[in-house]
Structure 1
Amino acid sequence: MHRNLSDYSLGVFADSALPHLAQVRLLNSPSRCAGRVEVIHNQQWGTVCDDGWNITNAGVVCKQLGCGTALSAPGWARFGQGSGPIWLDEVDCTGTEASLSECRAKPWGDHNCHHREDASVVCSGNPHPSLLTQLRLVNSSSRCAGRVEVFHNKKWGTVCNDSWDLQDAGVVCRQLDCGTALSTPAGVHFGRGSDHIWLGNVNCTGTEAALSQCRARPWGDNNCTHEEDAGVVCSDSGNSEKTSLRLVNGPSRCAGRVEVLHNQQWGTVCDDDWNLQDANVVCRQLGCGTALSAPGAAHFGRGSDPIWLDDVHCIGTEAALSDCRARPWGNYNCHHGEDAGVVCSAQHLGPLRLVNGPNRCAGRVEVLHSQLWGTVCDDSWDLAEARVVCRQLGCGTALSAPGGARFGRGTDPIWLDNLHCTGTEAALSYCRARPWGIHNCNHGEDASVVKETE
């Protein structure tokens, strides 16, 4: 149905004083300078086909809208499929045009496309944080190495490794401020994801500010399995072997059974000669302070994978456990009843996490007690408490301390109520509060934290 131009008075218009230049708008994005490209013709808005769509064409759109320069020119309906006519196809701009309608193209409405090919633009002007930040690397001891995950529709999901290369990985590393890309490990080097596979056939030019600006299939459209989850190792992650360390089956990430990654498989360490000196190297490598104890005899349960290291002998100054003297990888005379463990000083700060938020520094506050994660009541909850949470998690400054289950209701125990922090404490567990589990709240009062945007 044709509509009068006045029906679109709230749209993003350009060149409104120049009727001979077709108006253009960008839709379905939180930023006015990014989205699906639409042009108006015969008093009706329609889309542009991505055949031949490139950064030069996108640059004309950005200039026409006063949105700076083009960062990327995604196709494949990156910002959703339109529902009106497809007005332009095989657009070919020189880059000097004042309007997209001045570029060479097929006649208006003449195309061989469908809306799955709708063209989009991401411009440098008027950025929106959600276009740049929803990204993380997981299942590695370094924040700069791991399985690539992106946040979409309020859920984290993986990226398929079809066409995944160092150019794509370079965008990830730059977005996370992790230096340059060293490798894109094949297979499930960093484990299989369990949630949605959000992106497939990612194809970055390498100049994008965020992975979400690269050309790819529409969100959720892929023919992959989690066996094909993409991974990245960035230059700031350190030696990849040095970062492949974790503590499992303990009360926090700083206490548990020692496991190392070798040949793309996690395995344990034998407790022969295992001592505080060895444990100290583990704690320092993981950023967990100093070692309080070095329990052996599978104190944190028996592992089920290979036993990778035996007769480990650290002098205590090594940067990583893999730098210590030991038998060759996989050469041992142990069984899993001798798996080594570590308890680091940082674990006594009280296990803490933020969940159901867009990143690890925003979400519902949860603490671990009696081997169960539970929530914190928002009674008396304010920025002083939120500052302690952000400091404890290494998340910088707290922006706000929302209550009222801003990031959803928890389902486990409510562990803490009436918290009173001065704001200088090293951990939330150091603040005054009612005894663990004593409260007069419900999960509609779960406390949350949001970190200040950098």
Structure 2
Amino acid sequence: MLLIHCCFPHPPCISDAHLFPSGFKSSLSADVPSIKLVDGNSSCSGQVQVLRSDLWGSVCLEGWDLTDAGVVCRELGCGEVTGVKIYRRQAIGKIWMNKVSCGGNESSLAECASGTSLTMGCLNNLYAGVSCWSAIRLVNGSNPCSGRVEVLHNALWGTVCDDYWNKPDAAVACREMGCGDVIDAMKSAYFGKGSGQIWMDNVHCSGSEDTLSKCPFNSWGIHDCVHGEDAGVICHYPLRLVDGDGVCSGRVEVFHNSDWASVGDNGWDLSDAAVVCREVGCGEAVEAKVGSYFGDGTSSLLMNYVSCVGSESALMKCNFDGWLLNSPLSVMDNAGVVCKCECKSNI
């Protein structure tokens, strides 16, 4: 599967021309939740899937642009669009929409004009995806999966008060960040005091919500707190080194969709390894290992064609082509690293 990420504010990769008149509407119902993102690195990034007749289906890339992607981001509560994503793959389920044409003011993708559903694959097997601003971040932690919880509202970042803050709340924050399970819910500005707005107070999550903003809480900005009560989280780290000679060498595995996935060695080099070594707290990269140097592992999923500049703070922030099934009939070689420092810091 090929994944291309085109970032705003650069010009969109796809033509803004649309081939269907604005009055041509799809038959999707706007009355029910009808959209999700899959195979992305967060809940606000991935391939677009729409629900119709109780079946999930794909959206073709033809005609897809930043305006269409922006409608998806808003519908999902993910803020503003940052780019379109292009997936080259076989369709996931049905193909429900093609040649989508949104005006930009729609509240859901179902309200946009589009062509009819297809029985064959999309043109050139290209499917639509989006990348949106994340509405949550973790600050002052030792890695991308720990820190003070901050949420984005009205284009301003603010903190979350720790009144009633517990593990179900923290679990939602961990999930929204694309991290593993929650380890602990931190209180009393454990990761330092924030500044500015305190956006959320009395958060009461069941633990199953997709985003923190979907949990019950006081209205935005309504609180009786100070920044000494800022909430934080410690989540399971989404990256590990396996079957190496020490804690700072081994096969690279990333946590994705509740399972550990290997990393393919296509294009794997020292820039990629440098990001991994730094992310796990192991200093500089010494070697980038290919050809399943540390063994094949047992993962059925593979993170494919990783391409890092070398300055990224996490492997999941590097460009990559998506997730492939690594079946026993077509086992692909995986990547590994050897890092300089044998003194990994743990959370």
Q: Place the TM-score, normalised by the shorter chain, in its bin.
A: 0.3 to 0.5
Q: Which has the higher helix share?
A: 1
Structure in which a larger fraction of residues adopt strand: 2
The higher-RCO structure (CA 8 Å, 6+ apart) is 2
- Scaled by the length of structure 1, what TM-score is found? 0.36
When Rg is computed on C-alpha atoms for both structures, the one with the higher figure is 1
TM-score scaled to structure 2, two decimals?
A: 0.45
